[in-house]
Each structure stands twice: as C-alpha cells, then as structure tokens.
Amino acid sequence: MTAEIITIGDELLIGQVINSNQAFIAERFNTVGIVTERMTTVGDSDVPVREAFAAAFARHDVVAVTGGLGPTHDDITKRLVCEFFGTDLVTDEGTLAHIKELAQRRNLPLIQSNLDQALVPRSCTVIPNRNGTAPGMLFERDGRYFAVMPGVPFEMKAMVDDWLLPFFAGRSDGLIVRHRTLKTTGIGESMLAKRIGDVSEFLGTDGSATLAFLPNPMGTKLRITVKHRDAAFVDASLARIESALRARAERYIYASDEQELEHVVGRLLNEQRRTLALAESCTGGFIAHRVTNVPGSSAYFLRGFVTYSDRAKTEDLGVPAELIARHGAVSAETAEAMAAGARRRSGADIALSCTGIAGPGGGSPEKPVGLCYIGFADAARTFALKFSFGDHRLRFKDRASQAALELLRRSLLRFDTLDG
Amino acid sequence: MTAEIITIGDELLIGQVINSNQAFIAERFNTVGIVTERMTTVGDSDVPVREAFAAAFARHDVVAVTGGLGPTHDDITKRLVCEFFGTDLVTDEGTLAHIKELAQRRNLPLIQSNLDQALVPRSCTVIPNRNGTAPGMLFERDGRYFAVMPGVPFEMKAMVDDWLLPFFAGRSDGLIVRHRTLKTTGIGESMLAKRIGDVSEFLGTDGSATLAFLPNPMGTKLRITVKHRDAAFVDASLARIESALRARAERYIYASDEQELEHVVGRLLNEQRRTLALAESCTGGFIAHRVTNVPGSSAYFLRGFVTYSDRAKTEDLGVPAELIARHGAVSAETAEAMAAGARRRSGADIALSCTGIAGPGGGSPEKPVGLCYIGFADAARTFALKFSFGDHRLRFKDRASQAALELLRRSLLRFDTLDG
C-alpha cells in the first residue's frame, strides 16, 4: 500500500516548529509494508486543506493526517473531514467517558470545549487517544483508508503504535520494505562511489533493491532498501548487498544502522579492557564530550585535557616549550608530544590528541585554516596524522573528532595501516 | 509573495531523516515577506518530482527546492530541472574554479563526478555554494522564481542567508513580517509566563503582534512576531514589546535572536579582560566544547580538565582524596575543590566546575540520577550550587552546561544573588 502524510498547521509554515511527525509516521508505516510516497504540509485554512485531502485520497491507499484537532478556533480539521466524507458529528460515549476520567485524573475543570472533543464524525471508527482529549478517526472507502490524528507528537505516536499499526499490519498488501544502513568515514562520497563501482552488479536488475549515498560531515551513510513480498527474499537480499558493500569498502564501514562511532570504540575498549585519555586543543573538549555521551564510558575513559593555551600544553601534558617554539602548536611534533603526555600523566593504555586551526582566524599560508594533526600514543608507538577539515569552525570539530575516533577504531581493530 | 517548499529525498519518505530544511527556509522567507503556503516532500523518482515542480510553480510566486543535487546515481534533481525549464547543461567556470579550489584546500582528489558538479542549466543564475561542490540555481519566469539548492543543511542555509534572502529582499510585495526572540534561562516556562502576566497589556489589540513561548532544555525562548505593511510601525512595535518583556523578566534574558550563551559570556570575558578555566566531570568536556565554539575564545579560555575518574580529580586538580572519600565525588565540597583547583593550576581569573550523575546508571536514594553541583571560584569567593537535571544523559549535559555558563554570566554582570 502507498501513503501520503498530510500535516496541518500554521506553526509549520512559518518555520516555528520542525516537522517530526512526518518522519515518525513514515518510519512506522514502513514496518507494516506501507510505503510513503508524498508528504504535504498546509496551513490552518479551508481551501488548501480541502485540496490536499482530495489530491491525496485520489492518489494513495492510505492518507494520514495530523494537526488541527485541538479545542481552539484555529482547529478546523474535524469540520473539513466531515465535509469531505459527507457526514455529521455525533457524541462518542467512549470518548466522553475518557475525557471525564482524564479531567478528573489531571485535576482539570470540565469546560465545554473539552466536552466537544467527544463529538466525532458519524461514519468514522474512533482511534482512542490515551494521552489526550482529542480522539483520532479512521475512514474507509473502497479498501482505502483515511486516518486523522492530533498533531501533538506524544499523543499521535501512541495512537500510531497502539492502534494504527496493528490495524494495518493485518491489511497491508504484503509488500515488505526493509532498510539497512552502513556508516562509513575517512573517505569522501565520490571516492566511496568509485570504490563501490557499478551498483547493478549486486543490487540485481529486478528493481527490488536500491542503494542511497547519504553524506554528512561525519562521513557517508550507505542505505540499502529492499522491497518485496517474500520476507526471506528481502533478508537474503539485504545480506547479499551488505556483503558486497563490505567486500568493496569494509575498511571504511564503522557501524550499521543507528550506532555512533563513540559507541563502537567504547565497546571495543570495554572488550579489550583498555583505557583512554584525550588531549585536545582545537576540538576544545568535543572529543571528550562524544566519548562521555556513551553510558558507562567511565569504565574506560579516565580523563581529558583541553589544553587551549601553549602554557597548558606544557604544564598539563609536559610538551616542552622549546618544541612548541620550534615546530609550532599546530604540528605533528606537538600532536605526538600531547598524546604521549596525556598517556603518561593519566596512566591510560591509549591516548589521542588533536591540534589544529579551526578558524575562522589564525591561519597562514604555511598553516591554513582547516589544518589539523591527530596524535596517537599507546605502549608500542607514538605518531601523528595530518588532515585538512575546512574552514567552518563547527564542521571542523565534527570532522576532527570523527577522524580521531576512527583512528582509535582502526588501531583497536589492528588495521595494517591507520591512515587513508 | 507566496511560496511552496519542495524537499526531495527517499531518506525523508522512509523517516530516516527529520526534515529541518523546510522550517529553516520558511522561517527565513518570512523575514523578507515571503509567506510559505505549502510544503511538499517527494522521493528520488522522476514522476512525482515532475508533478511537484509543475503544481508548485503554477500555484506560487516562489518555489524553493532542496535535495538530489549530489554526484551519485540517485541524484536526479538537476536533470529534471533541465527538463522542466527546457534547457541543457553547460559548464559554469566560476563553479569549476571553486570546486578545484575546495578540493585542493581539503586535500581531496579531483575525480570526474566532482567536476561534473560544475555543469549547470544554461538558463539559470548560479547560487554559489561556499560550503560544498554542488551549486544552487535560480530560474525566473514572468516574475516568478524557482530556486534549487542542495539538501545538505549547512550548505543550503548559507546559500539562503548569503544569496537568496538579499535577492528577494528587494523584490517582495509589501507585508512585512519580523520576529525578535529573547532567550531566557534559569526559570521554568510556567513561572516565566506568570511573571510576564497579561500579554494583551503590551501586545496591543489590533492583531499585528503575537508572542510565543518556546521551551527547550536550554531555557525558554520568547518570540515576538509583528506583521504590518509599515516598516516603522513594525520596528516600533518590536521595540515596545521587547521593553515590556525586559521590564518583567530582564534577569533571565541572556540574549536576543540567534546568539548563544557562550557568545554572551565570551563577549563579557573579553570586555572585562578576564580568563576562564573549566573542571568537568559529568558534562565530560561539553562546557569546554561550547566555550570553544566561539571564534576567538583562545583570548580568554586557558584550559579545561575533564576529570572523569576520582584519580584525575586528585592528580590534575588537587582535590584531596580524603575529601572525595568523605563527601563523595558528587558533592558541593568536591565541586568547590574542583573549581578552586582548576583556577589555581591554570592561573585563570575564574574557574567553573561541574560534577553530577548524568545517568542512566550510578544513582542512589541519597544521590539520584540528575543530581549536579556547579562550582565557581574567583579571587573573592569559592562556592557551589545544587541542581537537578533529570534522567536523560544528553539533556542533562545541555542543562548542566547552560546552568554553569549562566552562573558565569550573572557573576560577570555582578548580580546581587547568583542563583534563582
């Protein structure tokens, strides 16, 4: 079955609210074989809502509408739904009882506008709203479905998960859609595409599988999508395509699906019972922040030094002042000395360091903005790698932290070479 | 002028990515008098994209399209735009030079798929993309406009702010919509609303001005919106309403519009020529990260210590081991000793510290998850404040960093009392 999601609300059209309802519904619909083909947002006014209803229900098997069901004057959805389906409002006793019970439980006065929410279109099936007073409603016409829900995310989400998905799970027409995402880093989108080569070699030619490249400052995600009526076929295809991608780009794939790089290195450090220290200059604590976003990271992360000044590098990490004077604070030599110093001071098994020019100021022809050295020290070796991360300060931090954690991942996995 | 925003991408239709581009463009369009009436999302396939282009350009003065401009096989937008406007691709020399320069600066190989991004439709005006290789393009037909930009948010945002808004600012048709946002922290939404009282007293009754409360973990934003055809009226209304809000809640307002708290304290530290050091435990480097997000922060930020282990607190900050043993690592005493130690070790004028239980584990009945102490030390005093920041690890870091920086702001502004 195909779907269109319609979100209604002036707050969306002025950009006051980022629309997260669409993504939620689309993701959930996917799990029961409903493929969203279009999303439309219109404001709280009659003509565009009417047009959107008609266009969507003509084109798709399922239409999901959110928004405009509250008790205030700008909530017009219920009236327009009645008009669209040629029906009128009747009191739903179950909803009325729920509204009274909710008011009592929350210690709220029962005013008329709340009681009016028990009025529902005569020809709909009520979708219960356990978290609020506005009920949802489902219409069916000739095997097609039109669902209307409030726009409040936590009310809508519970209605989708508790009621709408079980309802559709038994009715969808069998097309199964599954995704797998492989997350890469340390290679540009174009080079990755070149390495992977002709995708038709492993996607097959029956159109059931697609591959998307999704770049961002942390790396490029490869998203595999397989659509088919046979679940075993879908799983086999996903596995085959994942293998093909791994055969071509294994080195750069650090995680699958929603996992972040800090979780991957955290798991490796835990498994290998190794501890970590950090010495940061240009990233200003961002690597430590990412490492400590992982619950339980205190098991392996001992401490970090944010040595923003040269004096801090010398006093906290023991980087010789004359080394900084000779090579500069942004140099391979300083990065190495920072990592070695953090390791020595903390007693950690491994230390990473980072020194660079995040910009926008501070660059020179020899050392331009974006230049960055990542240092590494463990019992066996101390070295630094050189990078260039562009001239946007926050993107620079994203890229530098990702490169540092990726270097750690490769070292923990004992890659032959750690760069490139 | 009215607008439709079209976002293209399968990742949106499967719910993998929440669409933040629409809200950004709509909000920015508002500032130059362009009213967004519809938002449409379609996938990476020819028929729905074609239909969306035709329907939107027939209905609205401005169409803004994002997505599908990358170098890989699933990026179809450029081809379909050429088809829609009946034109072909030519190399844009300016874009080609930019791509070569960017590749050199980022130390990337120049492969054909990157060079191909310099191909643009013959009949468009190129919108430069300073943060990436895919140029934007603007078409004009009979006083209506069709703008196409990449879907990568930070590339698109710079193109809108640097190029598209100045372009449209001179061409829109009269209704002026301006917003001003006052950012508050350290007070809950309900208490803030109570303090501000009856908004009709200062908004006026002609409907031209509205006030929205926008709560988030960093605090509550107050957004004033004024719509009118007379620019002087709009500016006078904004100024009057801002004054009224400041009279009622000045203490809690730390910034206006897009400014972050780290920029505000950075400016104050610079003006007062004072230096800062940080000692973080539970926030794991996040406060240092925020402080160093400000360009030029090296002028006042000397260093940070991320003392995740007790041993690090003792060795790097000189917190006595017996003090930690007696009061616990999460205590007012430890927070004070951390701040004092960071100040002493760094020689900074002011030091902040933070120790707490970010969760999800590590809580106890006496010291539950969410408990946090923020320490402060300057030449005159050393003290700690107690907070409770909830049980969501990342929200905890947001709130704790905000409370620490707000404490710094109040101390730099010499508030009589620093808490509450």
Residue B252: CATH number of its domain = 3.30.70.2860
CATH (domain of A333): 3.90.950.20
Q: Does A183 lie in the same domain as A127?
A: no
Q: Does A103 lie in the same domain as A193?
A: no
A chain contacts of residue B10, beta-carbon cutoff 8 Å: 210, 212, 225
A72 pLDDT higher than 90: no
Q: Does B150 lie in the same domain as B230?
A: no
Give strand pairing partners of B256.
B182
Note whether B207 contacts A: Cβ–Cβ < 8 A.
Answer: no
pLDDT given for residue B74 in this prediction: 64
Note whether A23 contacts B: Cβ–Cβ < 8 A.
Answer: yes
Nearest to A276 by CA among A385, A336, A352: A352
Tokens of A251: 């080195």
Nearest to A227 by CA among A274, A186, A272, A175: A175
Give strand pairing partners of B126.
B137
pLDDT given for residue B221 in this prediction: 87
Please state which of the ranges A243-247, A304-308, A360-364 shows the lowest mean pLDDT.
A360-364
B chain contacts of residue A316, beta-carbon cutoff 8 Å: 303, 305, 316, 345
- Tell me which residue in A19, A177, A306 faces B285 most closely, judged by beta carbons: A306
pLDDT given for residue B75 in this prediction: 73
Residues with pLDDT less than 70, chain B: 71-74, 172-174, 420
CATH (domain of B17): 3.40.980.10
Q: Is residue A261 part of a domain?
A: no
Spatial separation of the C-alpha atoms in residues A357 and A370, rounded to whole Å? 5
Average pLDDT for A252-257: 93
User: Are A14 and B27 an interchain contact pair (Cβ–Cβ within 8 Å)?
Assistant: yes
- Residue in chain B closest to A357 (alpha carbons) equals B295
User: Are A22 and B15 an interchain contact pair (Cβ–Cβ within 8 Å)?
Assistant: yes
Q: Does B289 lie in the same domain as B401?
A: yes
DSSP conformation letters of B40-74: EEE-SSHHHHHHHHHHHHHH-SEEEEES--SSSTT
Q: Does B162 lie in the same domain as B40?
A: yes
Cα B135 to Cα A392, B93, B384: the distances in Å are 18, 12, 52
Q: Does B133 lie in the same domain as B27?
A: yes
Residues A183 and A256 sit within 8 Å (Cβ to Cβ): yes
> Of B130, B151, B169, which closes a domain?
B169
Note whether B284 contacts A: Cβ–Cβ < 8 A.
Answer: yes
Q: Does B141 lie in the same domain as B17?
A: yes
A73 pLDDT higher than 60: no
User: Are A36 and B23 an interchain contact pair (Cβ–Cβ within 8 Å)?
Assistant: no
Spatial separation of the C-alpha atoms in residues B57 and B144, rounded to whole Å? 8
User: Are A293 and B311 an interchain contact pair (Cβ–Cβ within 8 Å)?
Assistant: no
pLDDT given for residue B31 in this prediction: 80
- Tell me which residue in B20, B285, B359 faces A289 most closely, judged by beta carbons: B285
Q: Is residue A105 part of a domain?
A: yes
User: Are A27 and B14 an interchain contact pair (Cβ–Cβ within 8 Å)?
Assistant: yes
Spatial separation of the C-alpha atoms in residues B138 and B140, rounded to whole Å? 7
B chain contacts of residue A295, beta-carbon cutoff 8 Å: 359-361, 393
Note whether B258 contacts A: Cβ–Cβ < 8 A.
Answer: no
How many CB atoms lie under 10 A from the CB of residue B380? 6
Note whether A275 contacts B: Cβ–Cβ < 8 A.
Answer: no
| Residue span of the structural domain in which B345 resides | 271-412
pLDDT, greater one: A280 or A28:
A280
**How far is C-alpha B8 from the geometric centre of its chain's CA atoms?**
23
Which contacts qualify for A338-341: CB closer than 8 Å, 24 or more apart? A338/A279, A338/A281, A338/A307, A338/A313, A338/A375, A339/A279, A339/A375, A339/A376, A339/A377, A339/A382, A339/A384, A340/A375, A340/A377, A340/A382, A341/A279, A341/A313, A341/A316, A341/A317
A chain contacts of residue B358, beta-carbon cutoff 8 Å: 292
- Tell me which residue in A26, A213, A292 faces B284 most closely, judged by beta carbons: A292
A chain contacts of residue B283, beta-carbon cutoff 8 Å: 289, 292
Q: Which residues of B87-114 are buried (b: 16+ CB within 10 A; e: fewer)?
A: eeeeebeebeebbeebbeebebeeeebb
Q: Is residue A420 part of a domain?
A: no
User: Which stretches does DSSP call E strand in A322-388?
Assistant: 350-356, 371-377, 382-388
pLDDT given for residue B258 in this prediction: 77
Residues A25 and A36 sit within 8 Å (Cβ to Cβ): yes
Q: Does A191 lie in the same domain as A73?
A: no
Average pLDDT for A241-252: 96
> Of A256, A286, A315, which closes a domain?
A256
B chain contacts of residue A296, beta-carbon cutoff 8 Å: 361
With H, G, I as helix, E, B as strand and everything else as coil, classify residue B296: coil
Q: Is residue B417 part of a domain?
A: no
Q: Is residue B266 part of a domain?
A: no
pLDDT given for residue B73 in this prediction: 63
Q: Is residue B261 part of a domain?
A: no
Please state which of the ranges A42-56, A246-260, B60-74, B349-363 shows the lowest mean pLDDT.
B60-74
Number of domains present in the structure of chain A = 3
Alpha carbon dihedral A142, A143, A144, A150, in 10-degree steps, equals 110
Residues A35 and A1 sit within 8 Å (Cβ to Cβ): yes
What is this structure's pTM? Answer: 0.80
Task: Give all strands of the β-sheet with A209-216 in edge-to-edge order.
Answer: A209-216, A219-228, A176-184, A253-256
pLDDT given for residue A420 in this prediction: 62
- Residue in chain B closest to A292 (alpha carbons) equals B284
Q: Does B368 lie in the same domain as B311?
A: yes
Distance from the B416 Cα atom to the nearest Cα atom in chain A, whole angstroms = 32
Note whether B28 contacts A: Cβ–Cβ < 8 A.
Answer: yes
Q: A residues 65-124 near B, CB within 8 Å? A: none
Give strand pairing partners of B221.
B183, B214
Q: Is residue A126 part of a domain?
A: yes
Distance from the A281 Cα atom to the nearest Cα atom in chain B, whole angstroms = 9
pLDDT given for residue B173 in this prediction: 65
Q: Is residue B146 part of a domain?
A: yes
Nearest to A185 by CA among A253, A264, A258: A253
Phi and psi based region of residue B98 (left: phi greater than 0; alpha: psi -120 to 50; beta: remaining)? alpha
Distance from the B142 Cα atom to the nearest Cα atom in chain A, whole angstroms = 24
Q: How do A35-42 and A2-8 pair as beta strands?
A: parallel
User: Are B15 and A37 an interchain contact pair (Cβ–Cβ within 8 Å)?
Assistant: no
pLDDT given for residue A231 in this prediction: 84
- Residue in chain A closest to B212 (alpha carbons) equals A16
Task: Taking each helix axis as running N to C, give the angle between helix A310-317 and helix A332-346, from 0 to 180 degrees, rounded to the nearest 10.
Answer: 40
> Of B256, B287, B304, which closes a domain?
B256
Distance from the A138 Cα atom to the nearest Cα atom in chain B, whole angstroms = 22
Cα B212 to Cα B184, B202, B215, B223, B226: the distances in Å are 13, 14, 10, 5, 12
Q: Does B163 lie in the same domain as B180?
A: no
A112 contact partners, CB below 8 Å, separation of at least 6: none
Spatial separation of the C-alpha atoms in residues B372 and B328, rounded to whole Å? 12
Q: Does B203 lie in the same domain as B150?
A: no
pLDDT given for residue B39 in this prediction: 98
pLDDT given for residue B69 in this prediction: 85
Residues B390 and B370 sit within 8 Å (Cβ to Cβ): yes
A chain contacts of residue B114, beta-carbon cutoff 8 Å: 190
Nearest to A81 by CA among A123, A113, A41: A123
What's the one-letter identity of residue A264?
A: V
- Tell me which residue in B10, B72, B316 faces A303 most closely, judged by beta carbons: B316
- Residue in chain B closest to A24 (alpha carbons) equals B15
Residues B182 and B256 sit within 8 Å (Cβ to Cβ): yes
**Which of B21, B289, B301, B343 to probe by mutation at the A interface, max A CB count within 10 Å?**
B289
Spatial separation of the C-alpha atoms in residues A5 and A41, rounded to whole Å? 8
User: Are A288 and B293 an interchain contact pair (Cβ–Cβ within 8 Å)?
Assistant: no
Q: Does B370 lie in the same domain as B335?
A: yes
How many CB atoms lie under 10 A from the CB of residue A369? 21
User: Are A308 and B301 an interchain contact pair (Cβ–Cβ within 8 Å)?
Assistant: yes
**Which of B1, B72, B115 to probe by mutation at the A interface, max A CB count within 10 Å?**
B72
Note whether B233 contacts A: Cβ–Cβ < 8 A.
Answer: no
User: Are A308 and B305 an interchain contact pair (Cβ–Cβ within 8 Å)?
Assistant: no
Note whether A310 contacts B: Cβ–Cβ < 8 A.
Answer: no
What's the alpha-carbon Rg for chain B, to the nearest Å? 26
